Structure 1
Amino acid sequence: MDKITNIDWEKFHFLRPEYIWMAIPMGLIILLGILVYAEKSKWKKNIAQHLQPYVIQKGTAWKSRLIHVSLLLLFAIGFIAFLGPAWNKEKKPAKKLKSKLVIALDLSQSMLTTDISPTRLERAKFKIRDFLDANPRAETALQVFSASTHTVVPFTTDYKIILDQIDGLKPAMMPGRGTGFDALFKDLDSLFTGNKAEGKIMLITDDLNGLDVQKVSTFLQDNNVALYLYPISTQSGGEVPSFVNPKRPLKIKGKTITSQLDVDTEQALSGLKNLHIMNLTLDKSDVKTVAKEISEHLVFEDSQGDKQENWNDNGYWLMIPLVFFFLFSFRKGWALYSVLFMVVLGSSCGNNKESAKDTKTVKKDTLKFADLWYTKDYQGQMDFDKKDYKKAAKEFRDPLHKGVAYYKAGNYAEARKAFEQDSSSIGKYNLGLTYAKMGDLERSKKVFEELVVSDTSMANARNNLRKVTQVMAGADSMNTKKVPLNKNRPNPKNEQNKSMEDLGGGGQKATKKDMEKQRLEETTNTGKRIGKEMDEVPDDFNSGKGQIPSNVLMRKVDDDPTLFLTKKFKYQVKKKKVIEEKTPNEW
């Protein structure tokens, strides 16, 4: 109310003054309407003299004038509100910006050193898992680097995607050898150039010898980022394993290569602004602390927004008297009375069976505000359109729609109960699909056979009957009694890995030929078949309308994320999409 009572008339102006000219044609139209519909005295002469006292009522001319004046007043108030009267300013709210996080993991050969059990790389993976489990809440990207830098997972808040990719990361998948920090920071610079919210980088590496302190300082000054450096190595160090045989040390020119923590470089980096050295701990406290800090400083406000002020459009205040007088502008104020009548009695005027059924149902359930306006089926359809199938199934009263909602929600048991209550062809068709989903192929086949006989127009029922028959025949052919066994094939000898240090399984490294043979044996023994999924109930399903869509084919594809990333990284380097740095060391 202070905005209305304390108007600064010196600052008063209209935000849209260019539309003032529109008042002229609008005013002429209203004036023309008043002149056309004004009372004329000519028609009174056509009424018999003895009937005029009963037809013409005197003394009501002021009412018509009041209507004309009120009409002009309503137009004037509405037009002024449209022009946007303003006399005060308000600050523009600051824009909310969220920080982003990049996890850069070193995949050089020295990360396989065992001075940190089980290896530096495996301990780094454990720490990444603990860090993401602590939920830093920031959009996170996973990058790996050696001589070149590659993106494994782009920015995402679904940490499960990152966790699924961690296990397969290993130095052998990288196209080049060494530790290329220059290429890494060039890639990070492209990600955080011009960012307004402070970015976060968690750099996990064991080789600080190749990390140029001056270049890191320049990077931090040019970009609005905070760098968390996590050195995964010890001062005593250890021997770097060989590329060919991990159980033997790496030798170059007859010299055994060792890797240890560079304390001098670590101390020099600790003095840089916005760089934090993380200390390795046996528990999760180190990464939990960082995750909490990132989560608490996730949202930033754009400082430029605080300096901007906009004129406040106060025209909406004029809408209050406009709406109030408009309700009473009709004959005897019936507009206002009709609104009150609809609010009180609008939901109880139904007289059909469905309304009575809904009323009984509402008595059992908690009465909601939406029940005053919409039927349960209509509420269910709105939830169905939002793909909230569980809630829609509870709202629907029609068994066919209820069954479709349960089917989409994956609750096939309840869907079967609902479809069994519907005797239409579409209901039987959906019942057959439900039985198939539940694995009861015998009943599914029986339903489709009955439907093909009773309704010849159901072409999809014939197709699904054929599919069910084929699946049943395939299941019979896969009986274990009929499968010839290869008695000459030796039994697999898998030995348990009892070593806490050795993660290799205690066995010999498998060759590519061995892996292909093992994959072939797994496919043959399991009898895995590539099948096709039957028709599902469409999202835009309406009872008795439209056609059921054509078959949706689903195929299972065997994938190996590690192999895919390896080929992807090599392709990026080959096509020069990623720069491969020439590093002084090959490990």
Structure 2
Amino acid sequence: MNFPVHDFHFLRPEWFAALLPLCLLILLIRQYRRSQSGWQSVIPSHLYKHLIAGKAVAGKQAPLSLLALCWFICVVALAGPVWERLPQPVFQVQEGHVVVIDMSLSMRATDVSPDRLTRAKYKAIDLINSIDEGETGLVAYAGDAFTISPLTADAGNLVALLPGLSPEIMPVAGSDPYRGIQEAADLLQNAGYQQGNIYWLTDGITLPQAQDLRSLISELPYTVNILGVGTEEGAPIRQLDGQLLKDQRGQIVIPKLRGQQLQNLAGASGGVYSKLSAGDSDIKRLTGRNLLHNNAEETGEQTSQDGDQWAELGPWLLLLILPFAAYAFRRGVVLTVLLIPLLAATPQPVFAQTGVPVKDGKPEAETPVTPWYETPFLNADQQGAKEYDAGNFDTAADIFKSAEWQGAAAYESGNYEQALDAFSRSDSTDAVYNQGNALAQLGKLDDAIARYDEVLKRDPEHADAKANKALLEQMKQKQEKQQQEQQNQQNQQQNQDQQDQNGDNQQPQDGQQGQNDENTGSDEQQQKDQSQSSGDQQQQGGEGEDQQSENRNEESQSPGQEQQNEQADGQEEENEDSESQSPAKAEEGDQQQQQNQSAQAQTGELTDEEKEKMQRLDNLMKKIPDDPAFLLKRKMQLEAQQRRRQGPPSNRSEW
């Protein structure tokens, strides 16, 4: 592993100034030691080292080199030597973006191919796709401004809405960029963004508009970047019908791009102005150099040094001082040895037990939570409370002396019989209420309801008792209803079996009765035929008389007309016969139709008539125009009606 020399540095290099006091301290100590003995003035210096300072002084005092080494190590540790970076989560600046596009009639000018509007839409799509972080919104303006899309991270939604925009769908004609910028700022502010970028695509403004916009943009906390669409020479505005737009005096309108005004406005907020280009240099300029990015570039190196997290090695250097510290406090070596066992008694991490320990086929007893040295100072209920808090409900139920606490522990452990017995030994309202809970768990609903009634007699405002009683009454009603339904089903089954047996016994008698019914039916049919034949004869005679009278009053009819009349009369008779059918036959027809529909639904097949209907519906759906611009137009019209602006806004141009 190679040592990264280029990354090695100190986080706090100012601590090295502490070496200056070390040098001064060493000089003072050496001078003090020399003047410590009075023999120095009597004995020559070359003999003084060997006679006095050699053993007596050096044997009792620590060498200065040891002090200097420890001091130096401490200073280096405090300076923070590092050379390895620690991984950190990436921080993303929370900022919003709003694209404001001009939809005035001047965008129909043809000084750029094919026109300003088409090129602005393409640039807006490239701009939206180049924004790779944060949320983006879309605002369009003409005589008024409208939010086409709120702030969203889905760039595809904005791209899908851009083709439907055009000056003709705007509810208010004209050009008011002030409201467009204000709408974008409100969109960012309502979303909670303290910083963001407004990208404005326009073909120019008037001089009065420039003054108002400059005061607005300078007060906004957002950066306004402007893309100028068009040329300084300008070109006529070609409308959809092919005619050129003219003013009130009949002269052709030629809008021109005033890039210097737009550049001044962008500079008021620290933004960037760029003119429309054939490549992507204009988009890169708008998105690559804004106020936030400039600040990041200026402080990039400082962030790399101060903001990064490094693995500091200074604490490890302190381990080198421990032997010297033990030497300095050698009189306390015995105390250090005594403290070593305490380090071994450090509490170990506790983990939840995944199952009950089993030994020889039987579960082992739970380890008491209360330490042995605390047991003499706690009563039984206090020990049981500790076990209860630790979740050892079985152990707590055995330790508790209080009946209510014992019942609560047994209830939590699922031993409802023991809980009911414990609660029964107390006559308090809570104990009676808990008796009802235990009885409900045991399935004794009537007894549980009786306990809740007793609680409500003592305390009519007991909300839990009311709720539990209502719940048990509902459960009881459901049980009774289920039992009644089961009883009805059993009775119906028994009746059906009995009817089947009776039907088998009466089968011969039914055969004889059927023969008698057939004979009777044949006699009735003969009588009916005779009466019908006589009626037909009478009807023919009546028709003959009527025909004679008609021949006297009117001209004779042709054979073809007579045949048509006879067919019409026969059809009317059939209709009358069909209307006179019995209700039973009509009901049978409805049932048959329902059965056919259900059979078709089960098989999943469609009849020819249904297929024809589906085909007609598909053809109608294809005739509906898929025009998203119409929806945008209606949306903006409704919004314009809700605003109800009184009179035209100030400084609004006509195109």
Q: Normalising by the residue count of structure 2, what TM-score does the alignment of the two structures yield? A: 0.37
Per the normalisation by structure 1, the TM-score is 0.41
Higher helix share: 2
Structure ranking higher on relative contact order (CA contacts 8 Å, 6+ apart): 1
Bigger Cα Rg: 2
